[in-house]
Structure 1
Amino acid sequence: MSVKCAIGLMSGTSMDGIDLALLDTDGDMVVRRGPAFFVPYEAAFRRRIESALDTAKGIEHREQRPGDLGDLEREITLRHADAVARFRAEHPRWAGRVELVGFHGQTVLHRPKKSLTVQLGDGPLLARETGLAVVFDLRANDMRHGGQGAPLVPAYHTALAHALVDAGASQFPICFVNVGGISNITWVPARGDPVAFDSGPGNALIDQWVAGQGGIPFDADGMIASEGGVVASVVARYLENPFFARKGPKSLDRGDFTLEPAEGLELADGARTLANVSAEAILKAAEQMPELPKCWIICGGGRKNPHIVADLRRGADAMGSAVALAEDVGLDGDAMEAEAWAYLAVRSLAGLPVTFPTTTGCHRPVTGGVIVSPPRGQSSSALPHDFV
């Protein structure tokens, strides 16, 4: 497979906006990272997506769009097209090189036990709006082959791990930790397929807590938590959840963990306790790794919460492992998932596996994604849409 220039688009479980990243890659071991870009969602639109999570609970077939989900899907897609247009305008030297887009969409329902996952995002519409080939719906084929449909980033983590070891920046085995709304880990050995699974709640419970108790969308830099303390009994209740005893591969929906165990805590104590829950859930994942990692590399928005990171460092140190933020080893912890979607788009185009039995539980390594091209002769949109 030749090297292609791809844009990855990710709107994750934190629902805070669109991450965009550019990559030159062959979908295998060639990875040259380009610029990244973030377009935040305004508070009203974020609330609209949060409301959609309740609407989506009634979906029984992944093509269904009850209520206003059809309209929301169109607007989400247009916002992604707008992000691509703005990125290309700000990075003109890259604009003409882009060949395709990896489009995640917005997950509103994930029920792996029912082989059901729903991401709002219209691939053909995005292709028409951007004038670029689009690879989307990357989770469904994995589920058709017995997988959980998540996590999908491990293939990219594997390429990054080999690059880090080749550069002398780390040693195998390496564990990548993505602390998003839900946290997931990828354990990468020197040889063989990666091992990956969702590890537990990440930022989602903290965000829900401070929004409900303090009317604040998230705990910026852990400032609220810095005024509180860890309530160990609440942490213990969370860690008693049967999810943690289940063997991987395993994945979570945003609603699988709730705030019920934290009810009655003060605002700051709740924020600090939930940060500890996130860290302890990640550390507990070591029980299901073939070997303790030499290094945990922390990515995603949760790496900006100093309490999560400090708790991880303490726990990892007790195991004899090191903890590094993505930036400590020359990576971009904000852009990594968007980069992964660019990587997976090229990998899909090449027909290479995007999931493995050790990452999602699929019966065999499988590729995935639907590839659509823009109408013949169409040029990409030059102007962004107007969102208020």
Structure 2
Amino acid sequence: MSGTSLDSVDAVAFEFDAAGCAMLASHSEPFPLPLRQQTLALMHPGADEIERLGRLDLELAELFATAANNLIDQHQLDRQRIRAIGSHGQTVRHRPEAGFTLQIGDPNLIAERTGLCVVADFRRRDMAAGGQGAPLVPAFHDALFRAPGTHRVIVNIGGMANITLLPGNTEQPAIGYDTGPGNVLLDYWIHRHQALSYDRDGAWAATGTLVPELLQQLLRLPFFSAPAPKSTGREQFNPDWLQQRLVETGFDNRAPEDIQATLLELTAVTISNEIKQVAATGSEVFLCGGGSHNSLLTKRLQALLKPYALATTASLGLDPDWVEACAFAWLAGCRLDSLAGNMPSVTGARGERILGGIYSP
């Protein structure tokens, strides 16, 4: 799994059957800076796009294959026991309003380099059936974390943030959708001003002062008040969008740390607002993704979500750093077993669909 943050490729060995599941091993493959820059550039319109896309499709596949091979070799995994690699690919455009999404990282090349079956292209079948193609991880959350009689919310904070509501009544379907930016704007802003890849524990944001007027202007974006199903990405939340908002609101000369504090509050408020709208008071809330390590963000969520109980998915037996990678291993298993991988109650698709294509070794 390589998400919108583009910081690394997460690879896991995930084993599951009817009796249960377990994460056997994990590996994080660094994202080379030049490749990251080229991929970020492709996420926005530009010259010679088809040529650049074709080259990146192969370069990213090489990186994904390296991540898989390094995971296998470092942990001495038996290749004969590996049914498949589930490769999400790198999203370079997600335009549900136009009916398309695009993930690259050629699965043919991954199969060739690893000698293993690859399952990829998970999102487009759901989109063909009228769905958003995202988020897809709620189906995994439902399979792994649902507890009869207990209302739970799983919050994934990656580059973007999404929530999954798991009702205690097992007859009620799960719902889930993107809430808006997770780390993407925070990471961009600190990299621009301090050349750091992320704001560890929200330390820099903690030195700033919230700008309430700016926060209110940002919250007026129609996406935040739009009903589910909904999904988003860098097409909406990107440096150009942020800079335009700062200029329009007259806060472009405000101290950078104040902007960082406000961006952190934007993430916290948009997540907590959605949880309070859809989840019963006192529901258990579990965080996963890189944002779960941001202690200031966690404190703000705790304050905004009282009296909801807040923890990470580690409390449920799965390290919060690896939940999304495990989800795509699970989705690959669903494809091999001819089981539906989407949830119409989440994506808005016309029905359940088997997701992904199979690329034999």
Question: Is structure 2 residue 111 aligned with structure 1 residue 127?
Answer: yes
State the match for 1:177 in structure 2. 155
Equivalent residue of 1:248, what SS? Answer: coil
State the match for 1:13 in structure 2. 4
Choose from 226, 234, 252 the match for 2:232.
Answer: 252
State the match for 1:71 in structure 2. 55
What is the alpha-carbon distance in structure 2 between the residues aligned to residue 54 and residue 219 of structure 1? 25
CA contact (8 A) 2:340 2:354 kept: yes
5 Å matches for 1:220-299? 220-257=200-237, 258-260=241-243, 261-262=245-246, 263-289=252-278, 291-292=280-281, 294-299=283-288
Report the Cα offset of residue 328 of structure 1: 3.5
Choose from 335, 340, 349 the match for 1:353.
Answer: 340
Equivalent residue of 1:256, what SS? Answer: coil
CA contact (8 A) 1:272 1:307 kept: no
What is the alpha-carbon distance in structure 1 between the residues aligned to residue 282 and residue 58 of structure 2? 42
State the match for 1:201 in structure 2. 181
State the match for 1:3 in structure 2. none
Quickly say closer, same or farther: Cα 1:293–1:181, change in 2 above 3 A: farther
State the match for 2:164 in structure 1. 186
Alpha-carbon displacement from aligned partner over 1:166-224 (angstroms, at most 9, x marks no partner) = 8xxxx621110010111000111231321000001110011111122333222122221
State the match for 1:81 in structure 2. 65
What is the alpha-carbon distance in structure 1 between the residues aligned to residue 66 and residue 78 of structure 2? 16
CA contact (8 A) 1:225 1:269 kept: yes
CA contact (8 A) 1:198 1:251 kept: yes
Amino acid at match of 1:333: P
State the match for 1:100 in structure 2. 84
RMSD between aligned residues? 1.9
What is the alpha-carbon distance in structure 2 between the residues aligned to residue 305 and residue 29 of structure 1? 34
CA contact (8 A) 2:44 2:235 kept: no
Choose from 292, 308, 311 the match for 2:297.
Answer: 308
Quickly say closer, same or farther: Cα 1:366–1:49, change in 2 above 3 A: same
CA contact (8 A) 1:249 1:361 kept: yes
State the match for 2:22 in structure 1. 32
Unaligned runs of 5+ in 2: 247-251
Report the Cα offset of residue 158 of structure 1: 0.8
State the match for 1:330 in structure 2. 317
Amino acid at match of 2:98: K
Report the Cα offset of residue 291 of structure 1: 3.4
- Deviating more after overlay: 216-225 vs 199-208: 216-225
- Deviating more after overlay: 10-19 vs 120-129: 120-129
Amino acid at match of 1:371: I
State the match for 2:136 in structure 1. 152
Equivalent residue of 1:172, what SS? Answer: coil
What is the alpha-carbon distance in structure 2 between the residues aligned to residue 265 and residue 352 of structure 1? 52
Amino acid at match of 1:304: H
Question: Is structure 2 residue 32 aligned with structure 1 residue 54?
Answer: no
Amino acid at match of 1:16: D
CA contact (8 A) 2:283 2:309 kept: yes
CA contact (8 A) 2:150 2:167 kept: yes
Quickly say closer, same or farther: Cα 1:360–1:58, change in 2 above 3 A: farther
Question: Is structure 2 residue 335 aligned with structure 1 residue 344?
Answer: no
- Deviating more after overlay: 175-184 vs 153-162: 153-162
Aligned residues: 350
Unaligned runs of 5+ in 1: 1-9, 60-64, 375-388
| Identical columns (%) | 34
- Deviating more after overlay: 93-102 vs 127-136: 93-102
Quickly say closer, same or farther: Cα 1:107–1:340, change in 2 above 3 A: same
CA contact (8 A) 2:12 2:25 kept: yes
Q: Normalising to structure 2: TM-score of the pair? A: 0.92
State the match for 1:137 in structure 2. 121
CA contact (8 A) 2:276 2:305 kept: no
CA contact (8 A) 2:338 2:354 kept: yes
Report the Cα offset of residue 229 of structure 1: 2.1
What is the alpha-carbon distance in structure 1 between the residues aligned to residue 158 and residue 97 of structure 2? 22
Alpha-carbon displacement from aligned partner over 1:19-73 (angstroms, at most 9, x marks no partner) = 01111124x7732222111111133322121111124x789xxxxx613111111
Equivalent residue of 2:144, what SS? Answer: helix
